[in-house]
């Protein structure tokens, strides 16, 4: 028996659907790399003889957060990843990455496919994502990410609203020209006890070190990805020049990247986004590497629908996720989600306990927002 087939009774993927949906955001979301107004999402459905499973691709419409974008993800899935998986026969979820490895890069596309296979497998076996990944909490505290605004008063209104809703942590998006003053204003208005952090999405260079040190007096939990994605050494240099702990996001594509960044002293905290790192199984490995080094992790977000959110909440319940994540309620982004919405309860979301993701698209709602769909078969 081949290594891949060692799952024994592993059902074979028979058909795989690529489906595009379009969801309007409740409000524009501005970051240092652009403004999102709608979410153009690629969903993958894997159908086996035993069950069907869903995966959400987090690639944005444009290659602005990273080099991946949704049309490219659909293309590489259609031409390379799905044919490779269908040709491989019965493949357990833990072996999907190995089957897809000959294709370089495209981690967000690979993550979505692996998630759909894992969901189908877990649904067939009646096991939840949380149990499979090693969740140790029944619910997780949630943070919220607040976009760049036109004015400080507008920002203070938004932050006040989120605190009233019960969010346990506030993350402010920053860029040159929108950093020290908004942070100062939020601290002055809401006090020192609010858990506060900032996210630059690569908007600075090492030459900004003295400016970034002006954030030090505000006792931020962390500054996320101040420098370029490929500037790990620059982050290590910056760490010697500022007191605020550095957290890496875009720079970390794998557990190996995380180990290297930690060894270099480039970060004291890691943002884990399953899409960015090729899937939930690699995300768990990053959790394990960081835990072994005493490095806290938290779960990032890519404006997921309920499908991706369900899996993120399960991941965020692992023991090393000691900081609140960007696992906000569905209503933070969508007036109507494609699944039952995730609703905040005392600043927390419940970890789904049903088989697989524990949630599924509501068929009518899914049909309403679908812009294209195609089936691929072996």
Catalytic residues: 173, 273
- With the CA atoms of 322, 32, 105 and 109 taken in that order, what torsion angle do they form, in degrees rounded to the nearest 10? 80
- Structure-block tokens of residue 296: 């806290």
Q: How many CB atoms lie within 10 A of CB 63?
A: 14
3-class DSSP assignment, residue 34: strand
Does 302 bind ligand NPG (CB under 6 A)? Our answer is yes
Does 253 bind ligand NPG (CB under 6 A)? Our answer is no
As a whole number of angstroms, the distance between CA 329 and CA 314 comes to 14
> Which one, 17 or 304, has the nearer CB to ligand NPG?
304
Residues in region 23-42 near ligand NPG by CB under 6 A: 29, 31, 36
**Rounded to 5 degrees, what are φ and ψ at 126?**
70, 25
> Which one, 110 or 169, has the nearer CB to ligand NPG?
169
* 143 contacts 170 by C-beta, under 8 angstroms: yes
Q: Considering only the stretches 92-100, 234-242, 274-282, 298-306, report the one whose residues sit in contact with ligand NPG under the rule CB under 6 A.
A: 298-306
Residues in region 51-110 near ligand NPG by CB under 6 A: 60, 65
Pick the closest to residue 322 from 169, 157, 203 (CA basis): 169
Residues in region 319-348 near ligand NPG by CB under 6 A: 326, 328
Q: How many CB atoms lie within 10 A of CB 377?
A: 11
To ligand NPG, the closest distance from the beta carbon of 33 in angstroms equals: 8
Among 66, 145, 197, 330, contact with ligand NPG (rule: CB under 6 A): 145
To ligand NPG, the closest distance from the beta carbon of 15 in angstroms equals: 30
Q: Considering only the stretches 153-161, 302-310, 339-347, 367-375, report the one whose residues sit in contact with ligand NPG under the rule CB under 6 A.
A: 302-310
* 314 contacts 128 by C-beta, under 8 angstroms: yes
| Eight-class DSSP state of 331 | G
Total residues in contact with ligand NPG, by rule CB under 6 A: 16
Please give the residue ranges that form the binding site for ligand NPG (CB under 6 A): 29, 31, 36, 60, 65, 145, 199, 201, 249, 300-304, 326, 328
């Amino acid at each position: 028996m081949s290594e891949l087939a060692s799952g024994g009774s592993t059902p074979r993927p028979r058909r795989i659907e690529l489906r595009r949906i379009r969801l309007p955001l409740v409000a524009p979301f501005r970051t240092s790399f652009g403004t999102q107004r709608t979410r153009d999402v690629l969903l993958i459905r894997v159908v086996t003889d035993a069950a069907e499973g869903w995966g959400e691709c987090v690639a944005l419409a444009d290659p602005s957060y990273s080099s991946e974008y949704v049309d490219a993800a659909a293309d590489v899935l259609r031409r390379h990843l799905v044919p490779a998986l269908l040709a491989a026969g019965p493949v357990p979820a833990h072996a999907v990455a190995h089957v897809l490895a000959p294709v370089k890069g495209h981690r967000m596309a690979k993550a979505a496919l692996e998630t759909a296979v894992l969901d189908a497998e877990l649904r067939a076996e009646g096991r939840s994502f949380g149990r499979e990944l090693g969740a140790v909490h029944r619910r997780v505290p949630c943070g919220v990410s607040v976009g760049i605004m036109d004015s400080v008063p507008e920002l203070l209104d938004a932050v006040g609203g989120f605190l009233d809703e019960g969010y346990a942590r506030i993350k402010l998006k920053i860029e040159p020209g929108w950093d020290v003053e908004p942070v100062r204003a939020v601290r002055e208005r809401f006090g020192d006890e609010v858990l506060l952090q900032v996210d630059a999405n690569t908007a600075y260079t090492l030459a900004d070190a003295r400016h970034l040190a002006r954030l030090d007096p505000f006792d931020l939990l962390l500054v996320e990805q101040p420098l370029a994605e490929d500037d790990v050494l620059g982050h290590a240099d910056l760490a010697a020049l500022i007191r605020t702990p550095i957290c890496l996001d875009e720079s970390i594509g794998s557990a190996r990247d995380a180990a290297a960044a930690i060894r270099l002293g480039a970060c004291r905290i890691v943002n884990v986004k399953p899409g960015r790192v090729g899937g939930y199984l690699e995300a768990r490995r990053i959790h394990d590497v960081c835990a072994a080094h005493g490095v806290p992790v938290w779960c990032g977000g890519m404006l997921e629908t309920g499908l991706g959110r369900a899996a993120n909440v399960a991941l965020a319940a692992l023991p090393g996720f000691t900081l609140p994540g960007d696992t906000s309620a569905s209503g933070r982004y969508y007036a109507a989600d494609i699944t039952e919405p995730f609703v905040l309860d005392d600043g927390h979301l419940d970890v789904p306990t049903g088989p697989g993701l524990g949630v599924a698209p509501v068929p009518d709602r899914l049909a309403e927002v679908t812009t294209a769909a195609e089936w691929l078969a072996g």
